[in-house]
Every structure is written in structure tokens, then in C-alpha cells.
Amino acid sequence: MYMLFRSFFDEQLAHMSYLVGCQRTGEAIVIDPGRNVDWYIDTAKKEGLQIVAATETHIHADFVSGAKELAKRCGAKLYLSDEGDANWKYQYLDEVDYELVKEGSVFTVGNVEFKVLHTPGHTPEHISFILTDKGGGSTEPMGIFTGDFVFVGDIGRPDLLEKAAGVAGTADVGARQMFQSLKKFKALPDYLQVWPAHGAGSACGKALGAVPVSTVGYEKLNNWALKIEDEEEFVKLLLTGQPEPPKYFAMMKKVNKIGPAYLNDEEVQALQTIEQLNEYKANGAFILDIRPSQEFAKAHYAGAINIPFNKSFTNWSGWLINYDQDIVLIANQEDVQTIRKALAYIGLDRVVAYIEPSVALSGEVESYEEIDVHQLQQYLKDARYHLVDVRNQAEWDEGYIEGAQHMMLGTLADRLHELPEGKTYIVQCRSGARSAIGASILQAKGLKQVLNLKGGYLAWTREKLPVVKQS
């Protein structure tokens, strides 16, 4: 019997994970598991398999690993990297059954074989796994789990330890390690399938494709990073134009190194009165309204920040919510557990209460208006208005509206002191979605005169209105 192969894609995290099972022995392993381990457990049960192992390519920075949770719930043995220096060794191993692996290590789950390659660059401890389905009668490998080493159309960024975790000097070293690791990749057979840990939308690279699988040969032909033969040129290009790493990445590296807490299934308190919500706000809780931005704009609880529950929800929650803050949701009861799980995937576990929107709106209510680009043209002539562009650096570098002040959304709340006082603030992004979050931040922080540019920079350029280009 051949092996069973299943992939799982978390849209909000752009995270790919995998379950591989030996149908002869009924055993299965999960590769790069996220915290939503029910996915894997339910699938294994449906297929008549038992999860006996889990592994990961590296200490992840963008989500809470589910490996420790699988060890607890399934008794899974963990196969973890023993590469890299002492700063990036797993620190929870006394709680689990484990085996440390490195370059050349081989382990099996049933009749499926995994051979380890050390592929540093994204992180020092990063490893990849070459899979051979020996139970299916093959002596040749089928594919490689590349984690954050090689993506479809891109490679993993080497600057996260420096930018997100504050480890100085690691970006250049990581880029040079990546250059050497890619030589190993180029030497692999062209037919090998490539199974990465991320797709389009992840901040772990700058040009990830939206296709879930590739081959070594295809990547040799089409991946920009595999075409560059000069190391200095490679390092320069790899370190240029990477997106800003979300603030929560630093916490994820720490959590996944020391071992995440086990999931908590306790019920979330339902608030019945506006007075209860006011008390949480007074005590510093993050009041999170997950409704669509159009609804929020018309009326919202004063002090709430709006992060609509869509595929960007987890990313912006990680940027804006502090890990030492209690979180109160403004959401319908039927949505609370789904939202709570999404927050838990990045370790935001302090959801203490929720309140129905209708109850929240019985308190002090605020609103803001949306304007179009033609209105913006007129407002820019009036000194009482100030334009705030919350796009990322790469977008800003491609062009901006004259007079705008650039304050990337994830850093906006920490930079309010840089804004001129006493203005009406017009918030603008690429399409109008991020700027709606920005407008809610300004109002929650006491800057009440706020407008949101409908359609954003794209609407402005569609009308062929003037922009400033960086020289």
C-alpha cells in the first residue's frame, strides 16, 4: 500500500502543514504543525491512522507550533533539529518524547523514510526532509519538505532573527548560509516535489507564489533566487525589499523555543452590560471589534479598535495587540470560538470576555466618514487636514500622494506623537482596508477627527492623479 499524503492550508497565516501516513502500519506523522491540531487528529482518525510523530523544519516565527500539543494529545514523538548554535535549541524537551536530528539523520514512520538535510539561511537550525515511500515499493525519494527554505517562486528571508528577534548581525550571515544551502537544493533530482511551509501572503519571504506545490526542476527554471550565481549579488538582492516583519514574530520565536502553553478550552465570559465593558476598558484591556469596517465606521464603541475578521485578521492582531493585554471581543456569540482559535494560533491567549455588538453600541458611540479621491484633492488644499499613509515601505517607495506622512499601520499606535496636533486626519492605504484599521486606532487613542480614504492609493492612481516617485 502507498502512503497517504494530506496538506493543510491556514489562509490567515498562509501556513502549509502536512500529514503523512503509512497505510501498511496505520502510523502517521505531521510536518510543521500549527496549533490547530484538531485538523490533523480528525483527518488521521477518518483515515484509520494514529499520529505517532511530529516534526518541524525550524523554530517558527509566525505561528505557535502544534508539535508540543500533538505530543500531549497523541503521544507523538517529536523529531526536532539539533543544528544551529546554543541560542536556538529547544528548551521543553523534558516534557516530551523526542529525538534530535541533524544533517544525514534518517528516521521512519511506518514504511515512510525521512532523510534530514541541514538548510540554514532562514534560521541557523533550519532543516529539510527528503521523503521516500518505501512502503509503496520505491527506493527513490518522492519529495522534500522545505519549510521556510525554498518556497514556490521565492526563498525564506534571512533577516528575521535580526529584525524581529533583535539578534544583531545575523541577516548577512543568514543570507550567505542561504546561498550555500541552495547549492544542496540545486543538486537534488529535478523530479522531486517541493512542499513548503508557506504560500502567498506570508511575511517569511517577499515574493511567495500562490501555488501550493512545485518541483526542484521547476524552481531551478523559475525561482529568482536559484538563478543568481554571484554570492554578493545574491546577498544584496535577498536582503532588499523584504516586508516589515510583524511585531509578534519576536514573541513566536521565544514561545516556540521554550515551548507553548497547552490550549485552554475554558468558556469565555459573556458581558451583559455596558458597565462591564467600560470596566475592562478602564483596566487597559484591548477592545477588539471584529465587524466589517463599513459597519464599524457607521457606529462603534468608543475605544474599540477594528480588525475585521478576514484573511488578514491574524496578521494585524499580532501587530497591534500586546501579549500582556487582556482581550475583550465585540462579536456575536457564534463567532467567538472561531476568533479565539485564530488569536490562539499566534499565542494571543488572553481572550477574557466578549460582548454582543448591540450591547456594546448602547454605550458611548463614535463614527467616522469615508471620502473619495476627489474630496481628498480638495482637503489637501486645506491646512486643517493631514494625510496619513499607512502602507508598507515597499509600497511607499513605489509612489505616494504629495503631502502624506508615512506611518506603517503596524507602528501607527506607537508613533502618534509624530503627528501634527489639532488636525483632521485622513487615513490612506492601498485599497482602503488597512486605513480603516488605522482610523479606528486614531479614534481609540483620542484623535477623534478622522476620515478614511475609500479605495486608497489605487483609486487615486486610477484617476491619474499626481503622485510622488522616489528618485
Active-site positions read 429
The rounded distance, in Å, linking the Cα atoms of 29 and 114 is 11
Which cell goes with 9? 492550508
Name the H helices within 309-372: 313-320, 336-344, 357-360
Torsion angle of the four alpha carbons 120, 123, 125, 130, in this order, in degrees rounded to the nearest 10: -50
Backbone φ and ψ for 11, nearest 5 degrees, come out as -65, -40
Which cell goes with 272? 451583559
Q: How far is CA 148 from CA 61, 119, 273, 275, 366, in A?
A: 10, 10, 46, 47, 43
Q: Percentages helix, strand, coil for the chain, rounded to the nearest 5?
A: 35, 25, 45
Q: Is 233 exposed, middle or buried (0-12, 13-18, 19+ CB in 10 A)?
A: exposed
The rounded distance, in Å, linking the Cα atoms of 129 and 30 is 12
Within 8 A by CB and 6+ apart from 280, the residues are 271, 287, 326, 328, 352, 353
The gap between the terminal CA atoms of the chain, to the nearest Å, is 61
Determine contact, residues 93/108, Cβ cutoff 8 Å: no
Determine contact, residues 51/17, Cβ cutoff 8 Å: no
Backbone φ and ψ for 413, nearest 5 degrees, come out as -60, -25
Amino acid at 187: A
Neighbours of 35 (CB within 10 A): 21
Which cell goes with 344? 490562539
Strands 112-118 and 3-10: unpaired
Which cell goes with 348? 494571543
User: Could you tell me how many helices (H) and strands (E) the chain has, helices first?
Assistant: 16, 26
Within 8 A by CB and 6+ apart from 282, the residues are none
Backbone φ and ψ for 461, nearest 5 degrees, come out as -75, -30
